[in-house]
Structure 1
């Protein structure tokens, strides 16, 4: 990642785009397709790619992108780097039999990651493709910085207190079923930092004495127990509204890993919560 990128002229860039387009077209059987679309997202060493072939029946079908296609896209990304300005992190290339090859590149807008890269991925990005300060978008600066140590890692409220009979209260906005699925996907995808082989009792269904997972996950900013996802899934209890807002801001995409420093902060937050 420390080798200086080799710049490509506009003509070379177009030639490479056309070459990639021809490669995409070759992935579909002749005469059976309307469009081939490739989405490529990268930050440092983190790479994601999706290729979809839409047939004559109008049905899109995902296919595995070949390694040589990923290599060409990586070459194009490096070749489009401009000193101080950086290069694109997301691209969409489309091919159809009538219009030929089209390409759109996102230089400053954050891609919609399948799994958000950890901070080191964005740090690698800025080392490999340096940008002047004014050309670093706020989201990229924030992603590269990771959680601020002085702020610590936050933990959510599981419910909103107890009633006179000792039953948990829920006084928070509901979430729609479709969003609940997105929230659950996020809550279940973040890295586990603490786990137990046993389960705990269900506060909303006391007869379930061995039901709630005793694990903790973190995305580097929040750390939450397995109870958050469990109560949403089993009883429709929305997570802490501030955690929900945080997940929405991240487009429901959890990081695949977090830094060691973030893990330590999360464990410290959990320990503080369980001892107070």
Structure 2
């Protein structure tokens, strides 16, 4: 599907509307009282109807000139806004001696298609004119066969920041003990994505020794991440990935409650509290 090289400026949009009106008036005989063209589109599916009010005052339906239909498509593509999409229906009215007037349909309302497009038409619409998830109206999501958007994760509660237990103690030889239920296999990658996706608040250039494989002396990341409620060292994700060691059960429960969606950032206040939880120092306050 061809599109203009970039978004149309307002004056370019007005010029296109003028050109469409000129093409339409050129295809009808003299004496007409009003022209009204309705344009509906989704992906490659296009419908266009021209209603001509004749000199006797009676409306008649004609197929609009192909050039007018093409220009309406150019106008639609040129009015695309990244993340917001573009209009799917427009009504252009021309009265004798007056400039054309155009009304674009609301994006949250489904156009009144004569012949509703198949799902691929609406899928093409979202591929040609991508929209942010929150900008896809329910009717379009349903017509395109898309799943419902996941509900937002619950907010991170206020309060002290928790730190996880890396293991559950040591045996007689000093090796770490693990007394935890293993993760469900389908959850492992989602938990790892959460652990690795939260913001880093403290990091070292060097790595530490692997407690489960002491010969690996430069393996465990020496960094800390936080989601505002918990702060954990890089060892948590490392041991899960390398040795299948499940994280602290309370941290796992927290990650599940968050629907495995880590925050992209945390507030400065949350960072201060997380650092205090890691270092054991009292957080500094400013006035």
The aligned runs of 1:1-276 (5 Å cut-off) are 15-18=106-109, 21=110, 33-34=119-120, 36=122, 53=123, 63=127, 66=130, 69=131, 73=135, 92-94=138-140, 111-113=150-152, 139=154, 143=155, 146-148=156-158, 151-272=159-280
Q: Structure 1's 225 and 63: CA in aligned 2 closer, same or farther, altered over 3 A?
A: farther
CA distance in 1, matches of 2:182, 2:148: 37
What are the ranges of 5 or more consecutive residues in structure 2 without an aligned counterpart? 1-104, 282-287
Query: What is the number of residues matched between the two proteins?
Result: 174
The answer to whether the 8 Å contact 2:200/2:223 transfers is yes
The answer to whether the 8 Å contact 1:35/1:94 transfers is no
TM-score, length-normalised on structure 1? 0.54
Superposed CA offset, 1:206-263 (max 9, x none): 0100000000000000000000000000000000000000000000000000000000
Superposed displacement of residue 65, structure 1: 5.2
Superposed displacement of residue 112, structure 1: 3.4
TM-score, length-normalised on structure 2? 0.52
Q: Structure 1's 91 and 71: CA in aligned 2 closer, same or farther, altered over 3 A?
A: closer
The answer to whether the 8 Å contact 1:147/1:153 transfers is no
- SS of match in other structure, 2:205: coil
- Alignment root-mean-square deviation, CA: 3.8
Superposed displacement of residue 103, structure 1: 11
CA distance in 2, matches of 1:260, 1:247: 21
- SS of match in other structure, 2:260: coil
What are the ranges of 5 or more consecutive residues in structure 1 without an aligned counterpart? 1-13, 37-52, 56-61, 74-89, 117-138
Q: Structure 1's 166 and 64: CA in aligned 2 closer, same or farther, altered over 3 A?
A: farther
Q: Structure 1's 252 and 65: CA in aligned 2 closer, same or farther, altered over 3 A?
A: farther
Q: Which has the higher contact order (CA 8 A, sep 6+)?
A: 1
CA distance in 2, matches of 1:152, 1:92: 39
